Amino acid sequence: MLLTIGIIFFIYVLTKVYISTMEIGFVAKAKQDPAIILDPSNYIKAANYKIATERMSMLSTLVEYVVFMFWIGFGLKWLDKIITIEDPTLKSVVYVLSFIIIGYLFSLPFDLYKTFILDKKFGFSNMTVKLYLIDTLKSMLMTIIIGGAVIWGIVMIMQNVTNWWIWGFVFVFAIILVINMIYPTLIAPIFNKFSPLQDEDLKEAIQKLLSSVGLQSDGVFTIDASKRDNRLNAYFGGLGKSKRVVLFDTLIEKLNKPELLSVLGHELGHYKHKDIFKNIFMMGLMMFVIFYIFGHLPDSLFNAVGVIKTPHTIIAMILIFAPIVSFFFMPIFGMVSRANEFGADEFGAQSQDAPSLANALQKLANENKSFPKSHPLYIFFYFTHPPLVERLKRLGVKVDE
């Protein structure tokens, strides 16, 4: 059983490395072509950024394999041995939190490199060491408090309920929905300053746009995203009455009113087409599969690793192997998501006009340095949005490839 699991993980790592290799080669060749969509200078910068991030991704994947070998080889057994808490529930919470923190430490060098070297080199990151430390401390406290409570709940279900994996899935899925509801009003403000939109004319236009699809929101806000990053973005956050329209200050600075409204119209298209519920259903399906698989792992697997099958070792196994399940679900999610994006583009064009949305997409690509070409295999596995060339063509823009 352990050999089978190891082979599956190796195939997962090999697949990711192969896809990154193909993408690097494709982009390196494509950057020699005449620039499309992006300005010539941004076209080259976007290609170089893409190649750099994929190289880092390959290294990260290899480290992921080393971490896997560490945990399976002796890490799980070692962690179980050094945590000598007698209360089984408390031990499980401390064990899983320790597992998460150790995993974070393995990934930390990559995050530091991307934030302070790679993203600064390409003009994205405005992050300071002080802000990074503050963000990290806040995130760790939230992980310990909220994560600890969730782990405690799962452990209690495992200890007291038959077919724990069914009710564990229900519990975790419900927690995710609650977090989505409270995120824009309780969690996001911990990291960013939210301010009501001051431009009354733009605010009135946005409210009119929301009313056209029958959406009531908690308000229209801007956030100080530029203190961390120069990329442009906007989103509708929350579920139910907690929905907020959130505009990055960078977006307001770079897009004119028709372009900005067309981008929001695109996001409203997702609401109108109920895409969020489709995404929730698909996420729930994937989670159900994960809980089913790990609710039926044989004792022999745990014996082979050198640990007893307990709530905390089961949760650790879930955290180790869930990325494999989600990775091979990604092409399905991607196909559905890309179809949804075309529908949202159509709605965004109708809510404003196609040229405004097309201009906005091109500005976003230029400012975010998003390279407009990718290898088909990379698109198949990773793209949740259709390639920009295809989106612009559907909006009536002629693109010379």
In CATH, what number is assigned to the domain containing residue 211?
Answer: 3.30.2010.10
Question: Is residue 320 in a domain?
Answer: no
CA-nearest of 374, 379, 1, 310 to 151 is: 310
pLDDT at res. 243: 76
The pair of structure tokens assigned to 63 is 């480290």
The domain total for the chain is: 1
User: Under a CB-based contact definition with an 8 Å cutoff, are residues 327 and 249 in contact?
Assistant: no
Selected catalytic residue, list 23, 119, 259, 345: 345
Q: Provide the sign of the torsion angle of the four alpha carbons 398, 43, 385, 264, taken in this order.
A: negative
Contact between residue 27 and residue 374 where contact means Cβ atoms under 8 Å apart: yes
CB 394 within 8 A of CB 342: yes
In this structure, is residue 11 part of a structural domain? Answer: no
CB-based burial label for 376 (10 Å; 0-12, 13-18, 19+): exposed
- The β-bridge relationship of strands 194-196 and 220-223 is antiparallel
Quick one: which of 13, 14, 12, 31 has its CA closest to 369? Answer: 31
pLDDT at 240: 63
Which pLDDT value is given to residue 215? 78
Residue whose C-alpha is closest to residue 221's, from 187, 203, 194: 194
Q: Which parts of the chain sit beneath pLDDT 50? A: none
* Spacing of C-alpha 81 from chain mean position: 34
Whether 135 maps to a domain, the answer reads no
Q: Which of 271, 269, 251 is nearest to 260 (CA)?
A: 251
Q: What is the pTM of this model?
A: 0.92
* Order of all β-strands in the sheet with 194-196: 194-196, 220-223, 244-248, 234-237
Active site residue 23: no
pLDDT of residue 241: 65
In this structure, the strands spanning 220-223 and 244-248 are parallel
Dihedral pair phi/psi, residue 194, rounded to 5°: -100, 130
State the Cα angle at 43 between 42 and 49, rounded to 5°: 80
Residue in 54, 64, 80, 267 annotated catalytic:
267
Give the Cβ contact number of residue 29 at 10 Å.
Answer: 12
Phi, psi torsion values for 208, nearest 5 degrees = -65, -40
Give me the long-range contacts of 367-370 (CB less than 8 A, separation at least 24): 367/230, 367/231, 367/232, 367/250, 367/254, 368/231, 368/232, 369/38, 369/42, 369/45, 369/46, 369/49, 369/122, 369/123, 369/124, 370/46
Q: Is 235 part of any domain?
A: yes
In a domain, 199, yes or no: yes
Q: Mention every residue, 6+ apart, whose C-beta is less than 8 A from residue 48.
A: 31, 122
Residue 379 lies in a domain: no
Instruction: Compute the residue count for the chain.
Output: 401
Contact between 36 and 372 (Cβ < 8 Å) = yes
List C-alpha distances in Å: 399 to 34, 126, 372, 393. Answer: 12, 33, 11, 7
Instruction: Answer yes or no: 204 catalytic.
Output: no
In a domain, 134, yes or no: no
Which strand (E) or helix (H) includes residue 203? helix 200-212
Structural domain span for residue 232: 195-267
| Contact call for residues 45 and 372 (beta carbons, < 8 A) | no
Whether 58 maps to a domain, the answer reads no
DSSP 67-102: HHHHIIIIIHHHHHHH---SSHHHHHHHHHHHHHHH
Helix axes 148-160, 88-113, angle to 10 degrees: 140
